[in-house]
A and B are shown apart, each in its own frame.
Chain A
């Protein structure tokens, strides 16, 4: 099983992004996703910069994937997407919207299907595989039973060997996308004059209930879970199920340490369930509400 680090979902200054990827290169991560997946207004790294960074990281021996926007609405977003999909450097692309699937399949290019592409059964999985999908990231709200059923059916249908399965296993879950920017709204600013407010919140903004319970994390137009999803103890089970890659979603600090924890878990073949911290959750994997925590014996 391989370890991947997903694209940085937040807005960080360019140097911090570069430093982050430098540290990742020195870690035991196998696959690095990079690129802007949330908001096209963010410009610390422009599309050309992301492609250039991807090419540089590619030379290191890590597998590199360029990620793309989940919500594509504007003309400029479509042309930006086209630039990435048609990159001349042969970098694999992660599609997070059907526009990218269309562009990549039309050009006969292999691609990764990100977690915001709605694959809920093996029929859809096969359709995308036939269009060039090499790897899929399971939608975050799905559970281990559904995953098992999908992969079993894929085997019966004869294409399970053609695809890799990736599971979002650690980090703030991406739960929704809006036209509205919630970070700007918090500052009483309209999206068109957001003043790039999200750069001040490298891990997003916590949104609590009136009882001070962390409910969601605001990240511009993206709403994330309040709790951090953590499937580290489920590594052995995931291997048995046929999961090929586990994804760790970056936070501002500590991502390399999490990579190491997962690497230790893979090397040692089992994980101490006591590692689940108070602010973590794992409900989705067990078919419960995402925010709940199940102690799996």
Chain B
């Protein structure tokens, strides 16, 4: 399976390449990609350097143009597609059907991957994108159980890429508007979820409070680790009971599933983390490279080493990891 690694910056890209990535994915410095954060992503000069670095080391480069274009901004998405093509990248990762159509008509030889933001969770949806836009690969949303991933892989007309590690999105990607309900920015409209501009911290008598605009996401007592107020990971009240009603801060980690994913015919494993530091990227890519290389040799005798799991837990949200929806009990 191909190891696809996040590159939010040139240093992170270099480190991902050096640590054993088979492919890296990146975005441009605007809202055409779903990690539109200050300080992240590539301008033209950095993108050129990134391509040169990766190509020299035989690592593929994918560019994410995976948000949804509204009429006023349409030109930006067209230009992003043109820029990526001119750079000579290996593939575009796209969600919006209009953008897919533009790319496949103008650049029929340019490989198109359906982004997780395209929200295709079954082979019929994949058929539509394959038939109409010639996609060659699709990234599956993290809402499928392992059995459902296998079903999709069995019947899919295209190669599949699945998330193996990183911050967990618990809602079906590409169709979640929780963020725009609270803050007016969503992954689809602005490439952002729980955007930094809305984050507020306040020390009160009840503890340290994290808010998005005025909305209280969580409250931390002395000694509790305060995490970024991603809105679905707060503690809320249902029926007088305060708890992580939607999800705890946790990271996905599917190292244990490598044999099954491979057997199911999954083409690539995607590591989440374009907004993370180069140090983080180095850590996770190294571990996953080792794991995949070990599997290549050990096959059915593959066992996850505890050093890998410990390394990954250390850099995980809430310092804990989960199999997420891949495992039925999580659901």
Contact = CB atoms under 8 A, between A and B. Distances in A.
Contacts of B127: 102
A172 B68 CA distance: 24
A73 B127 CA distance: 14
B238 A207 contact: yes
B317 interface: no
Contacts of A160: none
Nearest to A70: B175
A217 B269 CA distance: 34
Contacts of A24: none
A65 interface: no
B325 interface: yes
Interface stretch (A2-10, A56-64, A236-244, A284-292): A284-292
Given A72-B122, A121-B69, A288-B184, A210 B237 contact: yes
Contacts of B64: none
Given A120-B96, A175-B176, 4 more contacts: A102-B128, A118-B97, A180-B331, A210-B216
B178 interface: yes
Given A123-B101, A146-B71, A177-B171, A213 B216 contact: yes
A211 B206 CA distance: 11
Given A98-B128, A118-B119, A207-B245, A192 B331 contact: yes
Contact of A173 (B132, B181, B183, B325): B181
Contacts of B97: 118, 123-124, 127-128
Nearest to B125: A98
Interface of B: 68-72, 74, 95-99, 101-102, 119-125, 127-129, 131-132, 142-145, 148, 151, 170-172, 174-178, 180-184, 186, 188-189, 213, 215-219, 232, 234-239, 241-242, 245-247, 324-325, 328-331
B217 A178 contact: no
Residues of A in contact with B, size category? 35 or more
A152 B71 CA distance: 10
Given A176-B171, A179-B145, A210 B219 contact: yes
Contacts of A211: 216
A214 to B, nearest CB: 10
B237 A73 contact: no
B245 A175 contact: no
Contacts of B213: 289
Contacts of B98: 120-124, 127
A105 interface: yes
Question: What secondary structure prevails in chain A residues at the interface with B?
Answer: mixed
Interface in A64-114: 70-75, 77-78, 81, 97-103, 105
Interface string A169-194: 00001011111111001100011100
B176 A179 contact: no
Contact of B175 (A116, A205, A218, A284): A116
A123 B75 CA distance: 12
Contacts of A118: 68, 95-97, 119, 174-175, 188
A150 interface: yes
Contacts of B170: 178-180
Contact of A99 (B122, B131, B246): B122
Contacts of B99: 123
A123 B102 contact: yes
6 contacts: A123-B69, A123-B97, A176-B178, A180-B331, A210-B236, A289-B213
A223 B216 contact: no
